[in-house]
Homo-oligomer: A and B are copies of this chain.
Amino acid sequence: MAQEIQKENNDHLVQSSDPEHPANLIPDLCRRFYNWGWVTGTGGGTSIRRDNHIFIAPSGVQKEMMKSDNIFVLEFPTPKYPPSDRKYIRKPLDLKPSACTPLFLAAFERGAGCCIHTHSQWAVLVTLLVEREKGPNAYFEISNIEQIKGIPRGKGKGMMGFYDTLRIPIIDNTAFEEDLTGSLEKAMEEYPDTYAVLVRRHGIYVWGDDVVKAKTQCESLDYLFQLAVEMHKLGLPWVKET
């Protein structure tokens, strides 16, 4: 693959003094996510699309220490190569691209501007509780909590309401992160309005129309997962009984 990297390696694509530039935003976001415990131990990842470029955090680095120089860049739209042939237009020579890349691409192909992947323990616990309580094909659902209003009802459909029931699909984990792509895309088709997919025993993928929406939706979901775990401990049902 090394020969595919352009000589100049397009370092200018990740060099900007603008704090809102994706190559600056990704390290800043990862530092914040690390402090919430979402991406410790090199877990998780983040990707931003801007115009015809996709900026991606690398694999296996300390997320709170990331630098702009560590960012990979792909062209968008990206031809559906198998991962081994994926052509990065900017690639840090000493780092591996994120195994989340095809999953991020699935979100971008559906119009996302930013996609966040966390290993939040609240998300993992919620997937385990749903599996035990409702079976392997069940989704997470919660209703009548104000924070639900932080999640969109679907593209161009406004935000959810307090009385709505939020449903987040859960897919099974796989040995290799890339192999999640098929089931993630299937969940996106079955839940065309969702902005997130939980991965059992693993974490969550959350996306949004832009960076702020992806980040705040990720925060609202994590709030709901933490609340749901505490509610379960206290014997409180997630969906209000009527």
Contact = CB atoms under 8 A, between A and B. Distances in A.
Interface of A: 37, 40-43, 62, 119, 121, 124-125, 128-129, 132, 144-147, 150, 161-163, 173-175, 199, 201-203, 212, 215-217, 219-220, 222-223, 226-227, 229-234, 236, 240
A163 B230 CA distance: 28
A104 to B, nearest CB: 17
Contact of A202 (B121, B146, B163): B146
Contacts of A240: 201
Given A119-B223, A201-B145, A236-B128, A150 B41 contact: yes
B173 A234 contact: no
22 contacts: A40-B216, A40-B220, A41-B216, A42-B220, A43-B147, A43-B220, A119-B147, A121-B223, A121-B227, A121-B230, A124-B146, A125-B227, A125-B230, A125-B231, A125-B234, A125-B236, A145-B202, A146-B202, A162-B174, A163-B175, A201-B240, A229-B234
**6 pairs of A and B residues whose beta carbons are closest in the complex:** A41-B220, A146-B202, A41-B219, A40-B219, A41-B150, A41-B216
A147 B44 CA distance: 10
A42 B219 CA distance: 9
Nearest to A129: B234
Nearest to A221: B41
Given A144-B201, A175-B162, A216-B62, A150 B43 contact: yes
Chain A contact residues, majority secondary structure: helix
A1 to B, nearest CB: 19
B227 A124 contact: yes
Given A216-B62, A234-B233, A40 B223 contact: yes
A55 B128 CA distance: 42
A42 B220 CA distance: 8
A141 B115 CA distance: 32
A102 to B, nearest CB: 16
A216 B34 CA distance: 12
A12 to B, nearest CB: 27
Given A37-B223, A146-B201, 14 more contacts: A40-B220, A41-B219, A41-B220, A41-B223, A43-B147, A43-B223, A62-B216, A119-B223, A121-B226, A121-B230, A124-B145, A128-B234, A132-B236, A146-B202
